[in-house]
Structure 1
């Protein structure tokens, strides 16, 4: 398995304020994308069209429809770029809708996920690589001592 960076709990927690700010912007941008999409549907006046059909209709439609399509495209590009920027930090984004992120860590020599969700004050959970969010376990004082690089 190819992994990027292995994080200590302290390193992951040091990134939480920046990550929280970045993900907050991403979640707000997701709302903007949804708003732009609804405005595009209204401008084209074809709610039954598939997304590809709707974009094509907008590009060949009124100035308003073309403007809405351009705005939507810009918002989507910014949204995708924002998640890429987060992943370039060495963070693995697991669920964009809720801002769920994992960091590779080591517990007793084995790789684990240090797990953080937008809104949490710190990285306070971990789980095995195959376990998902439902398998999160709290990082107790004993586990904290075992989380070593």
Structure 2
């Protein structure tokens, strides 16, 4: 559907729920969403760990204290559900190990992605949309408090 070859959601898919184009967040809107982003990311961390453990146990021993194939399928479904929240909100989920989320935005007339990575307490980074994570840099101080 809206997935790219690497399994992440494309900007078009993320924006489809917002009138056809990608949603563009203000820095203040992005900051306001961070508590929800962190809560969903924490759930992903738990589910991905349980899923990895259960899959390894079933592969190696054929059984697990976490359950069997029905529990494995339920965890896969839950992970998919958690991931879909990001696209439905207009965010770009770039990865789940670690959880990496981009907020499409604009700074000084330039298309950027406000960038949050699992473990960060606040939204404090961005990169130009055309360059990606390798060009990640701190938000200017005036934008950090927005």
In the superposition, the TM-score normalised over structure 2's length comes to: 0.76
How far apart are residue 40 of structure 1 and its match?
Answer: 1.5
Instruction: Find the aligned partners of 2:109 and 2:138 in 1 and give their Cα distance.
Output: 18
- Once the two structures are TM-superposed, the CA of residue 141 in structure 1 deviates from its matched residue by 3.0
Please report how far the alpha carbon of residue 89 of structure 1 lies from its aligned counterpart in structure 2 after TM superposition: 1.0
1:6 aligns with 2:24: yes
Question: What do the CA deviations read for 1:101-143 (whole angstroms, capped 9, x no partner)?
Answer: 000111222211111112212211111112222211111135x
CA distance, structure 2, for counterparts of residue 73 and residue 115 of structure 1:
31
- Residues 1:79 and 2:91 aligned together: no
Rg larger in 1 or in 2? Answer: 1
The structure that is helix-richer by fraction is 1
Equivalent-residue separation in structure 1 for 2:52 and 2:141 (angstroms): 42
Residue 134 of structure 2 aligns with which residue? 134
Residue 31 of structure 1 deviates from its aligned partner by 0.5
2:122 aligned counterpart, secondary structure: coil
- Alignment partner, residue 47 of structure 1: none
2:115 paired residue number: 115
State the TM-score, normalized to the length of structure 1: 0.75
Separation (CA, whole Å) in 2 of partners of 1:141 and 1:71: 46
With CA pairs under 8 Å and 6+ residues apart, which has the higher RCO, 1 or 2?
Answer: 1
Q: Which residue of 2 aligns with 1:18?
A: 36
* Residue aligning to 1:43: 62
Question: In structure 1, what is the Cα distance between the partners aligned to 2:137 and 2:53?
Answer: 37
CA distance in 1, matches of 2:112, 2:132: 11
Aligned-residue CA RMSD in angstroms?
2.2
Partners of 1:97 and 1:75 in 2: CA distance: 16
